[in-house]
Amino acid sequence: MRISSIAFANLKRRKGKALFLIVGIAIGIGTAIALVTLSASITEEIGTQLDRFGANIVVVPQANSLSLDYGGVSVSSVSFDVQQLRDEDAKNVRDIPYKERLSIISPKLLGAVKIADQEVLLAGVDFKSELLLKSWWQITGEEPQGERDVLVGYEAARALSLIESTGEMATQKPMNHAQMDSTSPSLEAEPFKIIQPRLLIAGSEHRVAGVLAPTGAPDDRMVFAPLTQVQAMLKKPGELSVIEVSALCKDCPVADIVAQIAERLPQARVSAIQQSVRARTATVERLTRFATVVAALVLVIAALMIFTSMTASILERTKEIGVLRAIGFRKSHIIKSLLIEVGVISVIGGLLGWAAGMLASVIALPYFAETQIAIPIRAELLVGALGAGLLVGILSSLYPIISAARRDPAESVRAI
């Protein structure tokens, strides 16, 4: 009689025990698969949201400076060999090898202007990219549409008497769930309304499309206008002061992107905002570590359950094993037969666990993610589930199997 035939016959005779072990392995593997899949999907969403939450690379003109001091007293500093950024430089950033990792490129021209006897910092921006970059902005009014539309920061609007407080809630730009749930720099402020919809800048009248809610950042003291308009008003056609870049860095180091931009723009100084990059990396790493530890604990618990069940099952089969040894079966035959049983149970449990884990991930993901994320069916997860099932099943059963095979057959037969 073949060893495999004996093993399959034993599985048929002990369907209840086999089913119990299969369920135990499936629960352990399924939980681990669900945690790994959810962790990967949520990590991707968090990474994408953090990558889009403001710029993490800043490009400014290259300049050398010379500090002037006398007797340890700083007098001033002189900048020389200043390299100017231009509109073409923003386009050149999109030509780097890692261009597919660039989410948002937002060029700006900054300049001080006098508005109604107030010195204000005027920023020329591309509103389409700027509003994507500053997703936390809350706007009372509406987004700028025309060439003469401007956005005004809260403190600048107060200084220019463009707003007044009101007891009613101001009409704000609708926010999505990601913006409401994220750690936004926006601050609480009294409700206000726009009372002066027109603003004279450099002799040209502009419409105040909206006023920003307080952010606690320099944005509060700035006026934002279309880039081409600001270039014309400041008499700096085609010039830029800074280019802010939001890079998606889940699959590549931000240092490589910085190096590639610097190579394309030798006249500029390119630097990464390390705080933003490190915050994203730390968040993702913590989530990954948590999911890994929980999955490992679940697998250990499943292994202990299988060990206990296999030990009890083999103790019940002492007489059977003794008879097999008495009629000539060797220790290796007994071990092989029991390992085949455990292997079959482990493979079935691994398959069921993988299917259950993927199903649980699909069901549970909407409760953890704000955006629609597709869960891909990855072959490596299926192979990992089968491998983990076999590893957990065999390792947890190895000791009771070897102990049973080493038992004296005469002692086992005497118990009949």
Report if residue 113 sits inside a domain: yes
Domain stop point among 251, 272, 293: 272
Q: How far apart are CA 359 and CA 322, in angstroms?
A: 44
List Cβ<8 Å contacts ≥24 apart for 177-184: 177/370, 178/49, 178/135, 178/370, 178/371, 179/135, 179/136, 181/370, 182/49, 182/53, 182/136, 184/136
| 365 pLDDT above the threshold of 50 | yes
The number of distinct structural domains making up the chain is 2
Mean pLDDT of the region 352-378 = 78
Please check whether residues 139 and 196 belong to one and the same domain.
Answer: yes
Domain stop point among 238, 272, 306: 272
Domain stop point among 272, 291, 318: 272
Please check whether residues 230 and 136 belong to one and the same domain.
Answer: yes
Residue in 118, 132, 153 with CA at minimum distance from that of residue 223: 153
Report if residue 259 sits inside a domain: yes
Which pLDDT score is estimated for 300?
Answer: 81
Q: 275-285, pLDDT tens digit by residue? A: 555 665 666 67
Please check whether residues 44 and 61 belong to one and the same domain.
Answer: no
List Cβ<8 Å contacts ≥24 apart for 315-322: 317/404, 318/404, 318/407, 318/412, 318/415, 319/412, 319/413, 319/415, 319/416, 321/404, 321/405, 321/407, 321/409, 321/412, 322/407, 322/409, 322/410, 322/411, 322/412, 322/413, 322/415, 322/416
Better-predicted residue by pLDDT, 67 or 349:
349
Plot region of 81 (φ>0 → left; ψ -120 to 50 → alpha; else → beta): left
DSSP 130-192: HHHHTTT--EEE----STTEEEE-HHHHHHTT-EEE-SSPP-B----HHHHHS---------E
Which pLDDT score is estimated for 303?
Answer: 74
For 145-160, give one letter per residue: b (16+ CB within 10 A) or e: eeebbbbbbbbbbbbb
Please check whether residues 64 and 178 belong to one and the same domain.
Answer: yes
Mean pLDDT of the region 64-72 = 50
Please check whether residues 185 and 300 belong to one and the same domain.
Answer: no
Report if residue 277 sits inside a domain: no
Percent of residues, the chain, with pLDDT higher than 70: 74
Which pLDDT score is estimated for 64?
Answer: 56
Which pLDDT score is estimated for 183?
Answer: 38
Report if residue 324 sits inside a domain: yes
Query: In this structure, what token pair is assigned to residue 161?
Result: 């008497």
Which pLDDT score is estimated for 148?
Answer: 92
Please check whether residues 42 and 189 belong to one and the same domain.
Answer: no
Burial class (CB in 10 A: 0-12, 13-18, 19+), 309: middle
Which pLDDT score is estimated for 301?
Answer: 79
Greatest mean pLDDT among 161-165, 246-250, 394-398: 161-165
189 pLDDT band, cuts 50/70/90, is: low
H-only helix segments in 14-86: 15-52
| 79 pLDDT above the threshold of 70 | no
Please check whether residues 72 and 188 belong to one and the same domain.
Answer: yes
Please check whether residues 224 and 144 belong to one and the same domain.
Answer: yes
CB atoms under 10 Å from CB of 118, counted, come to 11
Strand partners, 270: 59
Which pLDDT score is estimated for 409?
Answer: 63
Instruction: Report DSSP state, residue 203.
Output: T
Please check whether residues 39 and 80 belong to one and the same domain.
Answer: no
Domain of residue 156 covers: 56-272
Axis-axis angle for helices 15-52, 3-13 (nearest 10) = 90
Report if residue 297 sits inside a domain: yes
Residues 6 or more apart whose CB falls under 8 angstroms from that of 169 comprise 191
Please check whether residues 304 and 410 belong to one and the same domain.
Answer: yes
| 209 pLDDT above the threshold of 70 | yes
Which pLDDT score is estimated for 51?
Answer: 54
Q: How high does pLDDT run on average in the chain?
A: 78
Mean pLDDT of the region 175-180 = 37
Please check whether residues 213 and 260 belong to one and the same domain.
Answer: yes
62 pLDDT band, cuts 50/70/90, is: confident
Q: 80-133, pLDDT tens digit by residue? A: 445 789 999 999 998 898 888 888 899 999 999 988 888 899 999 999 999 988
Please check whether residues 316 and 408 belong to one and the same domain.
Answer: yes
Radius of gyration (C-alpha) of the chain in whole angstroms: 34
Report if residue 395 sits inside a domain: yes
| 215 pLDDT above the threshold of 50 | yes
